[in-house]
Amino acid sequence: MLPVIFGLSGPVMTAAERALFRDTDPAGFILFARNIEDPEQLRALTDSFRDLTGRAAIPILIDQEGGRVTRLGPPHWRSWPAAQTLAGSANCSEPERLASAVERVRCNFEALALELAGVGVTVTCAPVLDVPQPDAHDIIGDRAFGASPELVSILGSACLEGLQLGGVAGVIKHLPGHGRALSDSHETLPRVSAKAAELEQDFAPFRALSNASMAMTAHVVYDALDKAHCASLSPTVIETHIRQRIGFDGLLISDDLDMKALAGDIPSRAVAVLEAGCDIALNCWGKLADMQGIAERVPPMTPQAAARLQAACAPLRVAEHSSALQSRIDALLARRDALA
């Protein structure tokens, strides 16, 4: 199996993509707006991945956080709120208000998961566990549940629980913390100058949820940890800080290889994140030449990564679209809204 998650170019696999995926057996796939038309088409596409690979519980990823990071929306799917909107005015010093927010988040993400499961999507890249700082770039902003590590941890846990109840896995991101970045890693390489003691605040939500099955690295340089490499490319950050200090032992996925924070050709980036200690390289854009180059250069998946992948995929469930499923989603959202 290839330690890569691939995208594809359109709403169906082309003949060339099908041949590549059949020959290389990537760990999973990721979907974007260019791959989505309507529920019937999307379910047929996700079923085609399962048929091609022979894996019923293959990870099929999507960025479905809610708010501004949403791939499925009206008119075919519901509109989902951002994390900050779900959190509302919750804080850790008011137990009743916090309890309402926890239940609101749990209901929201169980409903979201059921909607995904109905079209055969098994993984969403959420929750964001970054703790945004006042002077940081707004790339995180309302994607975070709050500005305190404790609140982010509590509501992030509720998100993962809701997703799991719906049969979908979450991906905690962006380890070891993107909340201090002064720039957007899609556009440039951010550098964080905070001292190691200050970074403990960033680590805290990830440490609290270190038993999550999947996580995503940040393309961010942390001077106190490794001045020469961003987290996704740093063996020191991955082994010493993510694996040991934070304690995450699940499936570790790089952020998108195509982001401008990284340098070099795409196959070289894939090799580099795997050599640094990521289990999976994430290649989103479905460019056939890049995928072929990656397939030619990356090594097979390690036994340790394969075991982590198997454990992460074990709970995944695909649902059948039905009136009962829709009724359950409606009931969860009614409960969520009653707690607003």
User: Active-site positions?
Assistant: 186, 255
Exposure of 69 by Cβ count < 10 A (0-12 exposed, 13-18 middle, 19+ buried)? Answer: middle
Place of tokens 């989603």: 329
User: Do residues 232 and 263 touch, judged by C-beta distance below 8 A?
Assistant: no
User: Do residues 215 and 176 touch, judged by C-beta distance below 8 A?
Assistant: no
Residue 103 has a CB neighbour count (10 Å cut-off) of 16
Tell which residue, 127, 34, 38, 43, has the closest CA to residue 80.
127
Backbone angles phi, psi at 3, to 5 degrees: -80, 55
Tell which residue, 77, 155, 160, 177, has the closest CA to residue 123.
160
**What's at 318, amino acid-wise?**
V
Locate 30 and state its tokens.
């990721």
Q: For residues 163 and 287, what is the distance between their CA atoms, to the nearest angstrom? A: 30
